[in-house]
Amino acid sequence: MKEILLDTSAYSALFRGNDQVKEILQEVVEVALNPVILGELQSGFSSGHFEDKNRQLLKDFMLTPRVRVYPVDLETSERYASIWAYLRGEGTPIPTNDLWIAASAMQHGLTVLTADMHFLKVPQVLTRIIE
């Protein structure tokens, strides 16, 4: 696994001191984020007690040379539709934001690093679950 898409849950675990996430991040060449993940993080910061500190930590994290923000674009939306149709057919929906995250991972060939088991319902996407 050279590149991972760091889901919101994994980012949060990292900054809570999760050693497993730290070890995984040391092994990868690139850590990817996308606007959906950034929006989830910033929404969480807005409702938390340490908003300024958390925003600064994110800003510093994003300045790390191995961190890259992938855009959500037309191709992402096509992947979203494909995953949505598959999950609907299977009767196994997942949260909308996670559909976008999965679509981004599928588009760019990234493994999703997450604590959310429902990503395992998306066979089109490689997923690594953290504890």
Instruction: Give 29-54 pLDDT, tens digit per residue.
Output: 999 999 999 999 999 999 888 999 99
Question: Is it the case that residue 129 has pLDDT exceeding 80?
Answer: yes
| Rounded-to-10 torsion of CA 105, 111, 115, 117 | 80
Class of the domain covering 3-129: alpha beta
Q: Return all residues near 37 (Cβ < 8 A) that are at least 6 apart.
A: 5, 6, 7, 8, 11, 101
Name the maximum alpha-carbon separation found in the chain.
43
Single-letter amino acid code for the residue at 5:
L
Q: Which pLDDT belongs to residue 48?
A: 82
Q: Is the pTM of this model over 0.85?
A: yes
Q: Return all residues near 120 (Cβ < 8 A) that are at least 6 apart.
A: 127, 129
Residue extents of the structural domains in the chain: 3-129
Q: Rounded to an integer, what distance in angstroms lies between the CA atom of residue 59 and that of residue 53? A: 10
Q: What is the CA radius of gyration of the chain?
A: 14
- In the chain, the percentage of residues whose pLDDT exceeds 90 is 95
